[in-house]
Amino acid sequence: MTAVPPLLAPIYLRRATPNAGPALRSMLARCSAETLRDRFLATTSTASEVDELVELVGDMRSVTAVELYVDTVVRSTQHATVLAWQDDRVLAAGSILPTGEATAEVALIIEDAWQSKGLGSLMVAMLAEVTALTQQEYLCAYLGIGNVRARRLITRFCPQARWLHPDAGVVDVVIPVAAISADALDQHKIDSTGRWSR
């Protein structure tokens, strides 16, 4: 496994651009099968399809799934995607995709070595601010029922989030943007250069 840069090295948030493609692919290659399954679960409907996607993305023998995701993130004008960078490495990617009137889907992936270190909370805080600026009223997300980390993160930022009945191992959550905790947002400050102040 590639060595992780020091935790004290600065992390910057930047809008995704086509130049970010190689670093984003490298980040996906560093992710475990579980992390990939959690992120891409919503794009599939059966357990076998999920396992197939994880196999494709995880071992990089077929880049079809990776290229589709990377191309969408770095080139789509409909997505608003924020990447967390440390030096020349992408550590996390968070996207917002408008799906209807005043509603947008939110999706997040963080490489394993940086999970449970506050980066997920930082990305959610930034995506919440982007959502407010684009005048979206609701965020929606699709989670595997076993994704406890994501459930806790959403609940911390928005206790009023509405969890829908699970279907085929996936639970939908609707997050009112206006109800996102100001206290939770204030814990994650980003300066004018995009640097994360921890």
Read off the pTM.
Answer: 0.76
CA distance 7 to 93: 18
Token match 């609707």: residue?
174
β-pairing verdict for 196-197 and 103-110: unpaired
Q: Of 139 and 68, which is predicted with more confidence?
A: 139
Give the pLDDT mean for 74-80. 73
Q: What is the mean pLDDT of the chain?
A: 76
Give the pLDDT mean for 34-45. 65
Look at residue 61 and tell me whether its pLDDT is greater than 50: no
Domains of the chain from N-terminus onward: 12-193 (3.40.630.30)
Look at residue 59 and tell me whether its pLDDT is greater than 70: no
Look at residue 62 and tell me whether its pLDDT is greater than 50: no
Q: Which amino acid is at 186?
A: D
What pLDDT is recorded for position 93?
92
Confidence grade of residue 50 (pLDDT, cut at 50, 70, 90): very low
SS (H, E, C) 46-111: CHHHHHHHHHHHHHCCCCHHHHHHHHHHHHCCCCEEEEEEECCEEEEEEEEEEEECCEEEEEEEEC
Phi, psi dihedral angles at 108 (to 5 degrees): -145, 140
Look at residue 154 and tell me whether its pLDDT is greater than 60: yes
Confidence grade of residue 112 (pLDDT, cut at 50, 70, 90): very high
What pLDDT is recorded for position 88?
92
Least confident segment among 59-63, 171-175, 188-192? 59-63
Look at residue 146 and tell me whether its pLDDT is greater than 60: yes
What pLDDT is recorded for position 42?
40
Give the pLDDT mean for 56-75. 58
Look at residue 147 and tell me whether its pLDDT is greater than 90: no
CA distance 12 to 79: 19
CA distance 170 to 134: 27
